[in-house]
Amino acid sequence: MISFIAKRLAQSLLVMAIVSAVSFSLFNFVGDPVNNMVGQDATREQRLEIRDKLGLDDPIITQYSRFVGNMLKAEFGLSYRIKRPVDDLIAERLPATLELVFVSAVISLFFGIILGIYTGIKRNSWISRVILSTSLAGVSLPTFVIGIGLIYLFAVHLRWLPSSGRSGVVALGWWKTSLITLEGWRSIILPAITLSLFQLTLILRLVRAEMMEVMRTDFIKFARARGLSERAINFRHALRNTLVPVITIIGLNIGGLVAFSVVTETVFQWPGTGLMFIQAVNFVDVPIMAAYLVFVALLFVIINLIVDILYFVVDPRIRLGG
C-alpha cells in the first residue's frame, strides 16, 4: 500500500515538475517580459532596473529554481494587464469556479448514474432508447451552443432566470459564496446545467456500459440462479460492482468540469478562474496563464491521487497488480 502511494506521489511530483517547466518557459516564449510590464515610453534605465530586479540576466537554471521557489509560495508576480498579484486574483475567483463545478458535478453524477443504471438494466425498453438517443445529442451539442440556447430561452424569452453573472454573493470569511441566497441559486442554475450536460451524458454511457458488463458476469447469473429478486441483484450486487468505475468517473468528471468551465464561464460571464484564464490568453497576460496552468495541474494531480487511493481501498485486486 505504502509503496503504491509513494509511486503515485512520485508520479504526481513528476507531473508538477513538467508543468512548472512549461509555465516557466511561457514567460520566455511569449515576448520580452519587461516590455509587457512597463508602458510604451519607459526609459532604458527603468527597463534595466526591472531586468535586474527580476533577475532576467541570471542563468536559466537559477531563474527556473527561483520560479519553482516562488511557485511553492504561490507567488506568480503581477498580472501584466491589471497589475495585481496573480495569487490574489486566483484566490478571489476560485470560489466562483469551485461552486459552479460542485453544483454541476452533483447534477451530472446524480442524473448520470440514475439514468445509466436504468438504461443498463432495461436495455431494450423504449424509454432507454429515447434516453440514449437524447444523450447522444447531448454529446454532439457543443457546450457554448447549449449555453447560448439556454440564455435565449430562459433569460431573454421567458425571463425566468438571469442571463449572466453571479449575483447574491455573500462573504463567509474569505470565501465568497453564492449558494446561500436565492438570488445566487437563480444565477448558478443555467451555467451549472450547461456545464453538466456533457459530463452527464458521458457518465450515463459509462455507467450503462459498466452495468451491462456486470450483468453478464457469472456471479450475477449465479445470483439469478439462486433465485434472488431482480431488485436485490440490481442494487446489492450489480451496483456495488460498478463502484470502481464510478470512482474513476467522478475523478474524470471533476477534471472535465474544470476544463469546460472555461467555456461556460465565458458564455455566462461567470467571474471564475476560467473566464480570467481566457481573458489572460487574449491579452497574453503570461503570469495569469502560467499560474492557472500550475493551479489546474495541481488540482488534477490531487484528484487523481485521491481516485487512486480510493481504488486501492475499494478494489483489492489492484494490490496484486501494483
Partner 1 sequence: MHLKQLLTASIIALTVASPALAENVLRWTSQGDALTLDPHSQNESPTIAMNGQIYETLVTRDADLILRPELAESWEAGPDGWTFKLRQGVKFHDGADFTAEDVIFSFGRAMHEASDYKEQIKSITSIEAIDDYTVKMVTDGVNPILPNQLTSLFIMDKGWADANNVSVPMNYAANEETFAVRNANGTGPFTLVSRAPDELTVLARNANWWGEGMFPGNIDRIEYRPIANAATRVAALLSGEVDFVLDPPLQDLKRIEATEGLSVKTVAQIRSIFFGMDQGIDKLRTSNVDGNPFKDVRVREAMNLAIDRDAIKRVVMEGLAFPTSMITSPGVLGNTPENDAPVKTDPERAKALLAEAGYPDGFTVRLDCPNDRYNNDEKICQAAVSMYARIGVTVNLDAIPKSQHFPKIQKRETDFYMLGWGVPTLDSHYVFSYLLDSEGSWNAAGYNNARVNEITDAIAVETDGDKRASMIDEAWTQVKADMPYVPIHHQVLAWGLASTVDIPIAADDAFRPRFAVMK
Partner 2 sequence: MDKIDDKPLTRWQRFKDNDIVWSFLSSPGAMIAAVVASVMILACIFAPVIAPFDPFDPAQISLWDGKLPPSWVEGGQSKYLLGTDNQGRDMFSTILYGGRLSILVGLAAVCLGMVLGVTLGVIAGYVGGVTDAVIMRLADVQLTIPGILLAILINGVGRAALPYELRDEFAIYVVILAIGLTDWPQFARVARGATLVETNKEYVQAARIIGLPSLLIMSRHIMPNTLRPILVIATIGLALAIISEATLSFLGQGIPPTTPSLGTLIRVGNDYLFSGLWWITLFPAVALIVLVFSVNLLGDWLRDALNPKLR
Contacting residues toward partner 1, per CB under 8 A: 37-40, 42-43, 46, 49-50, 53-54, 77-78, 81-85, 88, 92-93, 148, 151-152, 155-156, 159, 162-166, 169, 266-269, 271, 275-276, 279, 282-284
Write the CA distances from 210 to 17, 121, 213, integer angstroms.
35, 10, 5
Q: Which does 83 bind (CB under 5 to 8 A by kind): partner 1, partner 2, none?
A: partner 1
CB atoms within 10 A of CB 206: 20
Position 69 contacts partner 2 (CB under 8 A):
no
Options 213, 220, 228, 318; binder of partner 2; rule CB under 8 A: 213
Residue 200 binds partner 2 (CB under 8 A): no
State CA 197 to chain mean position distance.
14
Helices (H), the chain: 2-29, 33-37, 44-54, 60-72, 86-121, 126-140, 143-150, 182-216, 218-225, 230-232, 239-241, 243-268, 273-283, 286-314, 317-321
Which three three-digit cell numbers place residue 57?
Answer: 540576466
Task: Round to whole Å and give the CA distance between 226 and 6.
Answer: 43
Pick the closer one to partner 1 by CB: 283 or 311. Answer: 283
Stretch touching partner 2 by CB under 8 A, among 23-31, 72-80, 106-114, 239-247: 23-31
Chain centroid to CA 50? 36
Burial of 62 (0-12, 13-18, 19+ CB in 10 A): exposed
In this structure, what DSSP letter does residue 165 have? S
Which residue, 3 or 282, is less far from partner 1 as judged by CB? 282
Considering the rule CB under 8 A, would residue 30 count as an interface residue with partner 2?
yes
Contact 80, 283 (CB under 8 A): yes
- Contact with partner 2 (CB under 8 A) among 6, 106, 136, 313: 136
Which of the choices partner 2, partner 1, none does residue 262 contact, using the CB cut-off of 5 to 8 A by kind?
partner 2
Amino acid letter, 99: E
Binding segment (CB under 8 A) for partner 2, from list 41-49, 61-69, 185-193, 254-262 = 254-262
Q: Which stretch binds partner 2 (CB under 8 A): 49-57, 66-74, 182-190, 293-301?
A: 293-301
Considering CB distances under 5 to 8 angstroms, the limit depending on partner class, which of partner 2, partner 1, none binds residue 191?
none
**Considering only residues 278, 306, 310, 318, which one is a binding residue for partner 2 as defined by CB under 8 A?**
278
Residue 70 dihedral angles phi and psi, to the nearest 5°: -65, -40
Q: How far is the CB of 28 from partner 2 (least distance, A)?
A: 10
Which DSSP string corresponds to 32-99?
-HHHHHS-TT--HHHHHHHHHHHTTTS-HHHHHHHHHHHHHTT---B-TTT-SBHHHHHHHHHHHHHH
Nearer to partner 1, 18 or 180 (CB): 180
State the minimum distance, in angstroms, from the CB of residue 193 to partner 1: 16
Asked if 293 interacts with partner 2 (CB under 8 A), we say yes
Residue count of the chain: 322
Integer Cα distance of 114 and 137 in angstroms: 18
Shortest Cβ 171–partner 2 spacing (Å): 29
Under rule CB under 8 A, residue 15 binds partner 2: yes
Selection from partner 1, partner 2, none that 163 binds (CB < 5 to 8 A by kind) is: partner 1
Q: Is 31 in the site for partner 2 (CB under 8 A)?
A: yes
Q: Which does 155 bind (CB under 5 to 8 A by kind): partner 2, partner 1, none?
A: partner 1
Residue with smaller CB distance to partner 1, 63 or 163 = 163
Q: How far apart are CA 25 and CA 83, in angstroms?
A: 21
